[in-house]
Homo-oligomer: A and B are copies of this chain.
Amino acid sequence: MYKEMSAEERRRMLEDEMKAYKKLAKKGMSVDMTRGRPSKEQLEIAMPMLEAAGYYDYSAGVADARNYGEPAGTKAARALFGELLGVKPAEVIVSDGSSLDMMYNAVQFAMQFGVMGGVPWNKQGRVKFICAAPGYDRHFSICAAFGIDMITVPMKDDGPDMDLIEPLVRTDVSIKGMWCVPKYSNPTGIIYSDEVVSRIAAMKHAAEDFRVFWDNAYAVHGLYGNDDRLKSVYDAAKKAGNGDMIYQFASTSKITFAGSGVAAFAASEANVADMLGKMFFKQINPNKVNQVMHVNFLKDVENIKRIMARHAEILRPKFELFERKLSEAFGESGDVRWSKPRGGYFISLDVPGCAKRVVSLAAEAGVKFTAAGSTYPYMQDDADGNIRIAPSVPSLDETEFATDVLISSIRIALLERSLR
């Protein structure tokens, strides 16, 4: 962009754009697009669950849900997540609201006690995780907390770059894990292709205690219905003799209430037994009252899809507004690229060399985006290009304002760069 203009023209254009930008900033609006949070309107969808809370039968299960017992969660909750993830109830542990917590625990157990009788990772020298980027910052922070080295590999349109990953995992015994958000990936919104899923499932791994952390956070979070297919990594792994290699995670944080829902871990029965053996020391049982509420409200996968269609109706216009305005502003220029997700909570924007400047300009005008670099391990985006955009919380008006600010900020950053 701006390549055919003279420096003088660009300087004038920058001045005009700065005026437009300042006019926007003067509106004094404040919009937060940093995190993938549901909006208030979405949270209302699950209120009938609470309205009926006094009428569910809490003592109907194997054990009274209001009392101690059932460390793996209620039978009905395990069955529901089993249906959602396409696994047997015995392959599921349902826990409290945060799947992040279950992922952290899985890493902590491995570090301190080892995986399925293996040597604790703490005692194996430096260990490493494969981190496709751009990716989910909270995955990278778990690695950072435990001092796990992160190997950054590119995230492509069909999933992580398997040509790079396969030889690493096959040969390096210190590689213990790999983070994946396989559907409507955070932040690029892509869905792993069948081929990528098959290759992940069939990976030869030098470390017996290597685990794929399959964070299926957006399993039913389509913006255009819920027919987008994701191949079952667990079925494929079992066929390849890798059944124990897969840890799956999911939660209802973006189906009912954020952090106040229920979360699930799914894996082979051997992994489940290993996990429960370690959880024994932590907790007598999860919040099973909440699990009874969820099972009664969510019912089954078909009903979950109906609930998610209502979420999509609220989210879709914001994503489409963003797409329309950015297309109008930058078309196929090539300097500015962004994802067109069919689900999830994020749009991923790439403005090489300008991400930090754009985020900073937008912030000054009242629009907060996740810090540039956040989608990369060690916050290190060598291209300074990626910005994660979370349009779920702001209203349509706020989304429009935020998009205008973003466009103006991008123009300024590009013009400034072209004049350097």
Contact = CB atoms under 8 A, between A and B. Distances in A.
A289 B51 CA distance: 13
Interface in A36-79: 37-38, 40, 43, 46-48, 50-56, 58-59, 64-68
Nearest to A289: B260
B104 A281 contact: yes
A146 to B, nearest CB: 7
Given A40-B64, A112-B111, A260 B290 contact: yes
Nearest to A55: B51
A279 to B, nearest CB: 9
Given A122-B122, A289-B50, A259 B284 contact: yes
A244 interface: no
Interface in A228-277: 253, 257-260
Number of identical monomers bound together in the oligomeric complex: 2
A141 interface: yes
Contacts of A420: none
A409 interface: no
Contacts of A43: 58, 64, 66-67
A101 B108 CA distance: 14
A97 interface: yes
Contact of A259 (B97, B146, B257, B285): B285
Contact of A53 (B54, B98, B259): B54
A379 to B, nearest CB: 15
A56 B259 CA distance: 18
Interface in A78-127: 96-98, 100-101, 104-105, 108, 111-113, 122
B145 A100 contact: no
Interface residues of A, number: 57
Interface string A196-215: 00000000000000000000
A253 B65 CA distance: 12
Given A47-B54, A112-B108, A35 B68 contact: yes
A278 B51 CA distance: 35
Interface in A287-312: 287-290
B281 A145 contact: yes
28 contacts: A40-B59, A40-B67, A43-B58, A50-B289, A51-B53, A51-B54, A52-B54, A53-B53, A53-B54, A66-B257, A67-B259, A96-B286, A97-B286, A98-B284, A100-B283, A105-B282, A108-B112, A112-B122, A138-B284, A141-B280, A142-B281, A257-B289, A258-B284, A259-B283, A259-B287, A287-B287, A287-B290, A290-B290
